[in-house]
Structure 1
Amino acid sequence: MILCGHRGVASLAPENTLAGLEQAHELGLGWVEIDVQLTRDEKAVVAHDEKVNRCTDGKGKLRNYDWDELRRLDAGSWFDPAFKQEHIPRLRDYLARAQSLGIKVNVELKVYAKDDAGQLCRKVSQLIDKHDFDQKNILFSSFEPDCLRYLQVLQPGIPRALLVERIPDDWQAQLQLLDCTSLHCHHQYLTHDQADTIKGSGYRLHCYTVNNLERAATLKDWGVDMIFTDTPQHYLNAGWSPG
């Protein structure tokens, strides 16, 4: 089972920053998960929340910032003063650094109310093509099926995953319609029977956000392919392989 650093390594560095990516590299992880949104001037940036309040010294919705404004925000001090120089990165810079480190990236496309899912997908697709990022090192995921539909056309060579909290009754129909390779769900709602059925149907199964070793061991026994975790160092210290 693969250990994927959630938002980089969220327990060791500010989430969704290059510092978190460096922590993942130091731990020997092969995968990280990040979130992507668009700024007002349509730059793809790595950030989770709709507002910048929690993880920077700014205020308000991320979509109301231009890139030049956003890049000046302190995105590290909230976590620890040692990370004061950290900033919200552009997706292009994050993917470039990940590629240089040999780390694969699960790019989650975040869509909030009034966001344009199509434009987000187009911008992400354009930068991947422009900078010639290796498609085999990227996995797209989203809670928003429209994003997966757009990417089905824009980047058919990059695998896609449907994100859900609880597994819906029509999960297989959705995966087939969106031509997804995997299903991502909240681990606490997954049952053994569901895991058996999903895996038996030929799909990969990934679970978020698993920070308990005992629960992770159970999921591994159930055939889960990957877990997203804030604390990969705890698994590694317990003798687990990064996968």
Structure 2
Amino acid sequence: MIFEDRPAVIGHRGLGAGDLAVPGDPATTVAENTVPSILAAVEAGASWVEIDVTRTADDDLVLRHDPTTAGGDFLADLPAAASGLPRLADVLAALPPEVALDVDVKTILEDAVDAPSRRTGALLAPVLRREAARRPLLVTSFDPSLLAYLRDELPEVPVGLLTWLRFPLWHGVPAAAGLGFQALGLHTASLGVDHPDSRLRPLEHCVDVAHKAGLEVLAWCPSADRAPEYAAAGIDAMVVNDVPGVVAALG
């Protein structure tokens, strides 16, 4: 079991995507994928926090959603120190061990051709091995090959397949189950609540099938007003941009 209290509320990139005001302190803002944002999410009631991790030219790991910096430079061409981004090692050292993390791994184009020892998964594996002894972890990615690698290298760390906008749920569930993963993360546009789809069975049925296949199901970016519907359908976790709003909506 990945999530003890369900549905778990997972702060997206910390408190949420972008620069957000800290709840209760609107004069203070925190940037996504930073320690202050992560701690603000926990303070606001998140039981888990999602962070984005990618690699740099000097084989370091930094927190960043995109393959480029805000200025447009490719991280694969920059050393970590020149990127201006938080290093994963520094973030993990700064976080209390009780902070549970969903590590969303962003592989890069060069992972297709670089030596296996330089690829994102190989760099990340020893970090995860150490952290798994300190805190609850889940690794998610859009890249099933990375997840398969980590599944075999670190069987103690659960992995979850992410699917893109409106990716058919009837493909996602058997894909994640067939690959031997423990979780499946689906955007709200794939779940039939925000975007009704006549080809989709009721969400409760789909989640039930996923559970019977051994998967825990994450809803990616539901709004606070929709959160109770996902909870009623049996969704195990929600990765959200409005932590206090979703926490309040779930009551």
Q: Does 1:95 align with 2:108?
A: no
CA distance in 2, matches of 1:91, 1:177: 31
2:58–2:80 Cα contact (<8 Å) kept: yes
- C-alpha distance in 1 between matches for 2:183 and 2:132: 21
Tell me the secondary structure at the aligned position of residue 210 of structure 2.
helix
CA distance in 1, matches of 2:211, 2:55: 34
C-alpha separation in 1, matches of 2:97 and 2:146 = 27
When normalised by structure 1's length, the TM-score is: 0.81
Work out whether residues 169 and 190 of structure 2, in 8 Å CA contact, stay in contact via their aligned partners in 1.
no
Q: 1:32-111 counterparts in 2 under 5 A? A: 32-53=49-70, 58-70=71-83, 73=84, 88-98=85-95, 100=96, 102-111=98-107
Q: Distance in 2 between matches of 1:167 and 1:142?
A: 17
Q: Could you list the runs of 5+ residues in structure 1 that have no partner in the other structure?
A: 74-87
234, 242, 249: which one aligns with 1:231: 242
2: CA distance, partners of 1:208 / 1:15: 16
| Residue type at the aligned position of 1:52 | T
Taking a change above 3 Å as real, the CA distance of residues 176 and 24 of structure 1, as seen in their structure-2 partners, is: same
- Deviation of 1:199 after TM superposition, in Å, equals 2.8
Following TM superposition, by how much is the alpha carbon of 1:198 offset from its aligned partner in structure 2, in angstroms?
Answer: 1.7
Count of aligned pairs: 217
TM-score between the two structures when normalised by the length of structure 2: 0.78
The match for 2:207 is 195
Q: Is the 8 A contact 1:95 1:133 kept in 2?
A: no
Match of 2:8 in 1: 2
Corresponding residue SS for 2:234: coil
> How does 1:46-195 map onto structure 2 within 5 Å?
46-53=63-70, 58-70=71-83, 73=84, 88-98=85-95, 100=96, 102-116=98-112, 119-129=119-129, 131-134=130-133, 137-165=136-164, 166-191=167-192, 192=203, 193-195=205-207
For the 8 Å contact 1:16–1:46, the answer to whether it is kept is yes
Q: How far did residue 155 of structure 1 move?
A: 1.1
Show the counterpart of 1:78: none
Q: Which runs of 5+ in 2 are unaligned?
A: 1-6, 22-29, 193-202
Using the alignment, how far apart are the partners of 1:135 and 1:170 within structure 2?
Answer: 34
C-alpha contact 2:219 2:235 (8 A) present in aligned 1: yes
Q: 1:126 to 1:161 in 2, by over 3 A?
A: same
Report the AA paired with residue 9 of structure 1: L
Could you list the runs of 4 or more consecutive aligned residues of structure 1 that deviate by over 6 angstroms after TM superposition? Answer: none
Q: Distance in 2 between the 1:40 and 1:62 partners?
A: 7
CA RMSD of aligned residues (A): 2.2
State the identity as a percent: 25
- 1:132 deviation in Å? 5.0
SS at match of 1:105: strand
Q: Distance in 2 between matches of 1:182 and 1:115?
A: 23
Q: Which residue of 2 aligns with 1:81?
A: none
**Structure 1 residue 172, shift from structure 2 partner:** 4.2
In structure 1, C-alpha distance between the alignment counterparts of 2:97 and 2:43, rounded to whole Å: 10
CA contact (8 A) 1:32 1:105 kept: yes
Residue equivalent to 1:85: none
